[in-house]
Structure 1
């Protein structure tokens, strides 16, 4: 964690009185463009977190395209950017702020999901973690922070260009490339096959088809290790859960999603914000069984069929299945009462 004066090359977060945040790298002689003028980096370098900086007026002609000035005609915000005198508080960004503001090659995981991965995956200092799918590096940076230099992170990314994006974002966050990170490129099964058996304490999968990677994942993880898969759709989640059960190498999967809603708190005006971060993905969590031992399976009631496709049944079989599938949760007596009441109301309407 960095403390002390802000130095050139650092990422800094500027926040105005309306709560609008801008994250930028400060460099000598540089500036950050805002809606209210320029923040001069030389005014920030050498200063302290918590200071307030004031924007200066930009030249109006710099806000328009010199070759095609007609394109900027009638755009009042172009002139508004030239206005100075707007104040911003200066802070080093939190990790969550950095993740949301960093350049992206692929869609990132939201902080709410990352926090749950680390908590439910029990990822702590000293652990050896295997990650599949670096993307833009949001999860990787958090995993590196969680395991620390006492542990290690091995990341397998299919696309070399995504790996470069993730590596650059991690390097910018730490100020140098983390030495405890082994970033590999290639297909997960091919690369994972070169890794030692039962070496990793935790595995995090963020990929399209994690159910096809379970054999190599189980070979690489230590008995009792935790597997966490981040999956975006219901069909993927269902397929992953069934594959885990079918393999016999993993405990009963736990599935959850996290919703995030912020609140407005101003005097007596206390209410939820109109917008929230709803569904972003599912987390499927389970643990690895030891060799020679099959996972214990939950027993379903014999009368409850959750496998047969209802479209494959005859009309008679489909009717018989209604009670077994728990689709009818109202007694015959209650149903007759409801129908009598509705008949009475419809009759009254007709009269």
Structure 2
């Protein structure tokens, strides 16, 4: 039996939604003749408006992916489903997302495999959760921990949008990771730990408790000071292997005839990744020989690790309420019942501003 012979209900979760003609409730990427891109959510009665006319959503519903359609003034648009990297950068958000370049590195360098048991903290808008769920698959396990209910609501909506409904391998809990994970997971039962938070060194004991021997712990941090303190805390703890760190930078290329050159802009520093592995119980890590260096932190260093000091911008409650409503509304448009979002914690407007300043009604 080939994948083409499988019924939709037999396919991995969300796969059926990536195939076939466009359906109401789907997000569709429209690219015009100048390469400008807009993402819309197909609604039978709605239209995509620009200063050059409008395009009724109904003209796209039922058409095959890759179609080219014209609006009321003859403006042509190429219609495709957004790739995961496109979706992550255009989805409703309340916090900065983990960029696709970093999510890909995390999945590969942490060896997130189908069926793995993974816990993560710092869900934000759910961008990394989506990549982790794709990696562990329907028979895997992902338990996400988030301190704020508003972020959890946004993440739920985005995950259910990309997977066309709730994912069977995912659960999300509200609370501090270091307190909640040891209550929810048995000691040594977790294969991988992924942390995207301000102070991952505070979670050393919790990670050491739930992570299985040989399991991977990967951290995503924004600044050099965070990276340094996390690495030194892991070394001093002795229950993990020597930490390794890296960052990735992505630069596109301009391709037009003989004018082939690097683009002037690139996705440079977004964060550092630091990875280590859990040693067997009772084993102490090897003391690697290295040149003496200053490893102690002054009070001034410790005071530097605050959200404002490391460049983390505060997110207004109004923005969070709007992002939560937008994320949940998308799942409801596709016919799925998402967890109710209270009017006091979910906001937004009826119109959605597109990437080029146009308005979708």
Matched, 1:262 2:278: no
TM-score, length of structure 2 as denominator length: 0.75
CA radius of gyration, larger in: 1
**How far did 1:124 drift?**
1.4
- Aligned partner of 2:110 in structure 1 is 121
**How far did 1:231 drift?**
0.2
Match for residue 240 of structure 1 among 219, 230, 241: 230
After superposition, the CA RMSD in angstroms is 1.5
1:259-280 alpha-carbon deviations (Å, 9 max, x no partner): 1111101111111111111111
- Aligned partner of 1:161 in structure 2 is 150
- Aligned partner of 1:183 in structure 2 is 172
- Secondary structure in 1 matching 2:108: helix
- Secondary structure in 1 matching 2:103: helix
Please list every run of 5 or more consecutive structure 2 residues that lacks an aligned counterpart in the other structure: 1-14, 298-361
Match for residue 38 of structure 1 among 44, 49, 54: 54
TM-score, length of structure 1 as denominator length: 0.77
**How far did 1:256 drift?**
0.3
- Secondary structure in 2 matching 1:112: helix
Please list every run of 5 or more consecutive structure 1 residues that lacks an aligned counterpart in the other structure: 57-83, 310-351
- Alpha-carbon spacing, 1:307–1:159, altered in 2? closer, same or farther (3 Å): closer
Structure 1 segment 142-221 matched on structure 2, within 5 A: 142-194=131-183, 195-221=185-211
**How far did 1:38 drift?**
2.0
- Alpha-carbon spacing, 1:95–1:307, altered in 2? closer, same or farther (3 Å): closer
Structure 1 or 2: more helix by fraction? 1
1:166-194 alpha-carbon deviations (Å, 9 max, x no partner): 00011111111112101000111221121
Structure with the bigger RCO (C-alpha within 8 Å, sep 6+) is 2
- Aligned partner of 1:134 in structure 2 is 123
> Does 289-298 or 147-156 show the bigger shift?
289-298
Structure 1 segment 45-60 matched on structure 2, within 5 A: 45-56=61-72
**How far did 1:308 drift?**
7.4
- Alpha-carbon spacing, 1:288–1:179, altered in 2? closer, same or farther (3 Å): same
- Aligned partner of 1:77 in structure 2 is none
1:73-132 alpha-carbon deviations (Å, 9 max, x no partner): xxxxxxxxxxx3211111111111111110111110111111100010111111111000
1:213-262 alpha-carbon deviations (Å, 9 max, x no partner): 11101111111011110000000000000011011111111110001111
- Secondary structure in 1 matching 2:115: coil
